[in-house]
Structures are given as structure tokens and as C-alpha cells.
Chain A
């Protein structure tokens, strides 16, 4: 059994006392920061990047793995107790979770979310361990043209699946691609869009952009909108426990959520939002109490929360095996790998396989630690929600400036932060999705690299993208994804007009 030997190698690294400690540090920091409203997993990792620059890669990735899962657990606490989901994956959790909390059922909601996350996280991570090597085997066989087509498919699906307008998503994505063009071109050594400015030669850092978009833009939009600042914290009373009845109603949604979440995350066209919505509507259909949905049904928390965590494990599969980020958080993890000079993809599995397997092992261990950390101590985490908001947002900006300045010790980066932050503010205010921009920023340069390599191989024959497989079918799928939703919407509108219900 290759899988077991590989996992055993991973656990051998993770169980070293110092790494156990880093894992604990990671999950604690992740939960701590994830609970704070307005901070999701992507920003948490971006802020921690400068701190880990001097660590060895294995320790840093054990921390990031812990932070990633920890921020997810913390985020569901925020979603349930104050109805402000920190990231789009817990949007659905907030619907019934917050209703349950208002009815005094907060402990049961938190417990089903935590245990569901644990169950789905374990299943998802084991599936990741089982499928990633197969994906790698496939990945070594694909050509640069196929890779470019995959990147385009990821681009289109990230833009289409989030937000209300495909075009708005694509514009956000292309802006990210454009920002990444600034600086020295790695393949030819030519300066692009630097205008002789030395600080532009090195390009605009991914950390700078992410911190600007998620911290600065968030603070500016909350400052501008007093309505968004008003919130109501539902107090958490009693121990976080489930009754026998709660468990009976939760265990099937956990398993179904995990089954829906993982494949969606693992597809190069993935993301964590769709499976949470699917799980919610499936549970409503299967439930004996469909009338409770929207009013605090425990299945409506258990299923989507499990789907969310399984999808997050799934997203790691294309990230590790293909180097293809399909969410904002995956994009920042990819940037973290690159900071250590590591390029996720097939070569990472063959070259640094110990690192990959210790990351996967640390995800499993982190999951267990989180369960032990969250069930008895939920009350403690919930108390973090009572940090006075003026100090919370001032503190977020302190850590944002520290993260941006500390990474490069350059004041120019702080100025970029302000400019990109203002752009992010405008995007939030005008309802443009942010995640496609982050994916474009990180995946853009990789798409370019593969495009140009494909052109070199085919000697400038661009029809190779349409004539070779799987590149051609993948591009066709991307085109359908981009064009179909507006057409379907138009068709629905028309049929609604002709047959008013």
C-alpha cells in the first residue's frame, strides 16, 4: 500500500515534538484569527506569511495547514453567533446556524458544525491522499497546451460561479492578471510596465495585493457603511454538546455533505460555495421537517458545514498535484509555496514528497486537534467576539501594515497597499467579486508561461489549443460555462414573462 507508507512518512515528520507544537500553534492561531469577524482564511495566511519567512518549509507548511483548517472552524463560530460569515463557504451555515443560536440552540449548532467539520475534513483529507497521486500521474502526461486550457477553465469557473454577473467576475479576474504582468518577465528577462521604476521591476507582491483587498478594503468599506457595522452577538450559554436526537439528525447530513463537497473542491472548476448550497437544498428535500429550514434546522448546519470542509480538502488536490489554485485561499497557499522556491505540481510530489505528505498528515492531525480544541473551549473562542469593534478594526490595520511592510521592508509596498485597497473598496461597494482577482493574480503568470511554452513547442501554431486533447474539450467546456448562465437567465426571464405564475 503506497498510500499507507506515504502517510506513515508524513506522520513520522509531523509527530516530531517540535512539529506537533507548530501544528498546535497553527490551529490555535487559525481559530483565534478566524473567529474575528471580517478575517477569513486567505487573509489569515497572508498576514502570517512574513512571520514564517525564516522557518524551514516543513514547519511553515504544518503551520499553514493548521491555520487553514483552524480558520474554517473559527469562521463557522462567527457565522453562527453573529451571522457574519468570514468567507463565502460559510454563507449557508449562517442561515440556519444563526437562527438556531437565536432560539438558544447555539451549543448544538456549534457542536454539529465542529463535529461535521471534523468528520468531513477527515474524509476529505483521506480522499485527497488517495486521489492526489492519481492526479499527479495524469498531470505529468499533459502538455503545456493542456495546462493552459486547464488554467482558462479555472479562470472561467472562478469568475462565473461567484457573484451575480459573469462579466463582473471576468473583469475582476483580468485585473488580477494585468497586475501580475507588471515587473520583469521571467521567461525573457524583459521589464514590463515598470516605466524605469525600480520598485515596479520586481512586480507587485501577492501578499501586498491580498492584504490590501481583504484587510484594507474591508476596513474602508465598513468605515463607509454604518449599516454594515451594526451587528448582534448571540450569547453562548452552556456547554457545547449535542443531544441524542441532534446526533441522529446530523450524522447523515455530515456524510452526504462530505460526499458532495470533495468532488466539487477537487475539480479544477471547483470552489467551496456551490457544494454548500447543493448540500443545503438536498438536506431540505430529504428532511422530515422541511418547514424548519430557514428557521433553525440542525441538518441545514450539519450538511453545508461538512460540505464546506470536504471541499476545502478537495481544493488541495488540484493545488498540490497540478499547481492550480481554484480559490482565493488556495492562491495564497500557492504564493506561500513559491516563497520557499517550491512549485506545486507533479515535480513537487517527486522532488519534495516528504513535504507534501507531512502537509497532508498535518491536516489530519490538525483536524483532530481542532475538534479537541473547539468542543470544550468554544465558550472561550466566543468571547473573542466581544472585542470592541473600534480596537478590532484598528488592530487589523496594524497587522496589515506590519505584514505588508515586514515582507519587503519597502514603503512603496505600503503605498501600493493603499492604492489596491482603494480599488478593492470600490469593487466591494459596486458588487464586484474579489476572489477571481486573487486567482488571476496567482494563476495568470502560470497560464502565460504555459501558453508561451506551448507556442514554442508547436512552432507558433495556435490551433494546437483546439486540436489536441484534452486542451480542446477543456476550452469548449470553459466557453460553455461562460456563455450558458446568462443565456439560461434570459430564457428563464422570457418564460416567466410568457407564463406568469
Chain B
């Protein structure tokens, strides 16, 4: 009998339930509404249900672990590809406001493509740049969506230099 990952997930759900129940008392109860029709009741029911079922699930999993059938069980964990994909998303969040949509998407595309086994980095980032450019122009010019240009390009000397080359970000 040992704590499986699934049982751990049950405990996590129970903890989330306790959290929702505990912080339900921070919600202001307007005097015009009764307890049962106020804003607290449903969060409390949800929290209690999560806590109870999460605990029940954890106990159940510890006593009779349910597992994937043999053929559906995931293979060995590929930490490198997983880390690169996760990292590319974090990098995207960091780059988007600073360097703008096109560069942030190009970087993410290239890294994810490499993580999924693209062999030539130049090709991966090149395809990423083309995709980012097409998406950027279609969405900003045709569909009227505003996408960030990047704070770096708001810097006056740089903007002047880019304008000199005909690019007006």
C-alpha cells in the first residue's frame, strides 16, 4: 500500500475544496439575500463536495489502485521535449510585451518544433517566422485584432532606424 500519483491528485482536489470552503467566508453576504440564496452557498457546497470526494478518491486509490490498461500506459517521460515545450511557453510570456508578437511567436514555434524532433534549427525558426508574419498581418490587417509590437520598438532611435529601412512597427 503506497501513495500513488492518482491518490495524490485526489488529495490535491481535496485541498482545493478546503481552500474554497475556507475562503467562502471572505465573500460578503448582502443583507438583502438569505443564506441559501446568497453568494456563499454554492462555493461552500462545491468546496465541501470536492473535499469529501477528493478524500474518498484518495483512500479508494490507495486501497485499490486503478491503473491504465497495459496498452494505454504512457511510455518513459521525455524530460527534454517536455521542458523545451513548457519553457517555450514561459519564454513567450516574457517576450510578448517586450519584443512583440512576431519575435515571441517565432521563438516559441522554433523551440517547440525542435522539441518535437525538427532536425534543422534554421528551418524550424524560419518556418516559425513565416507563420508568425502571416498570422500577424492577417489578424491585424484583415480581422482588426491588435497584437503587441513590443516595447523595444517604442524606443525612438531604434524606431527611426527601422523606419529608415521602410518598416514602421
Given contacts A51-B143, A394-B128, contact A190 B82 (CB under 8 A): no
Is there a chain B Cβ closer than 8 Å to A219's Cβ? yes
Given A190-B28, A452-B37, are A406 and B145 also a contact pair (CB < 8 Å)? yes
Partner of A390, one of B34, B105, B112: B112
User: Which residue of B39, B57, B127 is within 8 Å of A167 (Cβ)?
Assistant: B57
Q: Chain B residue with minimal CB distance to A402?
A: B135
B151 CB to nearest A CB, Å: 12
Contact with A54, one of B33, B39, B92, B143 (Cβ below 8 angstroms): B143
Kindly state the separation between the CA atoms of A15 and B30 in the bound complex, as whole angstroms: 51
Output the least CB separation between B91 and chain A (Å). Answer: 11
Question: Which segment of A56-64, A180-188, A378-386 sits at the interface?
Answer: A180-188
**Closest beta carbon of chain B to A405's beta carbon, Å:** 7
Residues of A within 8 A of B158 (CB): none
User: When the two chains form their complex, are residues A401 and B81 in contact, meaning their CB atoms are under 8 A apart?
Assistant: no
Contact status B66-A460, CB under 8 Å = no
Mark contacts of A396-417 with chain B using CB atoms, 8 A cut-off: 1 yes-contact digit, 0 otherwise.
0111011001100101001101
Are A451 and B42 closer than 8 Å at their CB atoms?
A: yes
Q: How far apart are B89's CB and chain A's nearest CB, in angstroms?
A: 5
Q: Does B68 contact A (CB under 8 A)?
A: yes
Which residue of B has the minimal Cβ distance to A224? B82
| Chain A residues near B149 (CB-CB < 8 A) | none
B99 within 8 A of A: no
Interface of B is mostly: helix
User: What is the total number of residues of chain B having a CB less than 8 Å from a CB of chain A?
Assistant: 75
A223 touches B37 (CB 8 A): no
- Contact check, A430 vs B5: say whether CB atoms are below 8 A apart: yes
Binary contact readout B20-37 vs A (1 if CB under 8 angstroms, 0 otherwise):
100100011110011111
Contact B54 A187 (CB under 8 A): no
B146 at the interface (CB under 8 A from A): yes
By a CB distance below 8 angstroms, the chain A residues around B35 are: 460
Contact A411 B53 (CB under 8 A): no
Across the two chains, which residue of chain A brings its CB closest to B13? Answer: A171
Contact in complex: B90, A402 (CB < 8 Å): no
- Indicate whether A481 reaches chain B with its CB closer than 8 angstroms: no
Chain A interface residues toward B at CB < 8 A: 50-51, 54, 164-165, 167-168, 170-171, 174-175, 177-178, 181, 185, 187-193, 216, 219-229, 388-391, 393-395, 397-399, 401-402, 405-406, 409, 411, 414-415, 417-418, 421-422, 426-427, 429-432, 444, 447-448, 451-453, 455-456, 459-460, 462
List residues of B whose CB falls within 8 A of some A CB.
5-6, 9-10, 13, 16-17, 20, 23, 27-30, 33-39, 41-43, 46-47, 49-50, 53-54, 56-57, 60, 66, 68, 74-79, 81-82, 84-86, 88-90, 92-93, 96-97, 105, 108-110, 112-118, 124, 127-128, 131-132, 135, 139, 143-147
In the A-B complex, list the 5 residue pairs whose CB atoms are closest, starting with the nearest.
A227-B75, A390-B118, A390-B116, A390-B113, A394-B112
Enumerate 20 A-B pairs (CB-CB under 8 Å) in ascending A order: A165-B66, A167-B57, A171-B13, A174-B13, A188-B30, A192-B27, A222-B116, A225-B78, A227-B75, A229-B117, A388-B118, A389-B117, A398-B128, A401-B105, A430-B5, A430-B9, A431-B6, A453-B37, A455-B34, A456-B37
